[in-house]
A = this chain, B = another copy of it.
């Protein structure tokens, strides 16, 4: 049972530019068309918990990319677009309670996605594993991956993999 962060950031810790662009993620060459371990990761989780902004970004991709259940954490949204009504569910409320409920429903390993949601989970010390891929660029500004936390959170380095001699993907587990 664990909550995972799996995300790419710039060297200065941004997950999107100020206007939400992700084009900088694709500036790296990828001759062997690696998926950077994404499929393996996504197969290991039971459901995705996602914030509204990330959700709205994903909708712009066209095709719905997930085959795992998505729980959309939002206090403002009340309705899902017709075509994903059986693929996602809106949830709201206390994230600790929500996580417990999801766990009890059999969703034990959760992929926590989106800056604000990740920050809320970290603030409550609800993240167990972080797989962070550093893209070798400084964006200078944008949406940060991490936010203010009231105490130190120690992690353990599990492993680091390098893709295309460019992306540095480090896997950390919470050291409680």
This chain: copies in complex: 2
Q: Which of A55-63, A69-77, A84-92, A141-149 contacts B (4 or more CB under 8 A)?
A: A141-149
Q: Which of A35-43, A95-103, A162-170 contacts B (4 or more CB under 8 A)?
A: A162-170
What 0/1 pattern do residues 144 to 175 of A give for CB contact below 8 A with B? Answer: 01101111111111001010011110101001
Count residues of A near B (Cβ-Cβ below 8 Å): 36
Chain B residues closer than 8 Å to A136, beta-carbon distance: 154-157, 172, 175
CB within 8 Å for A168 and B170 given contacts A27-B154, A132-B11, A137-B154: yes
CB within 8 Å for A140 and B134 given contacts A162-B157, A162-B160: no
What 0/1 pattern do residues 98 to 139 of A give for CB contact below 8 A with B? Answer: 000000000000000000000000100000001010101111
A13 within 8 Å of B (CB atoms): yes
What residue in chain B is nearest A163 (Cβ atoms)? B157
Is A138 a contact partner of B134 (Cβ separation < 8 A)? no
A positions within 8 Å CB-CB of B:
11-13, 24, 27, 122, 130, 132, 134, 136-141, 145-146, 148-157, 160, 162, 165-168, 170, 172, 175
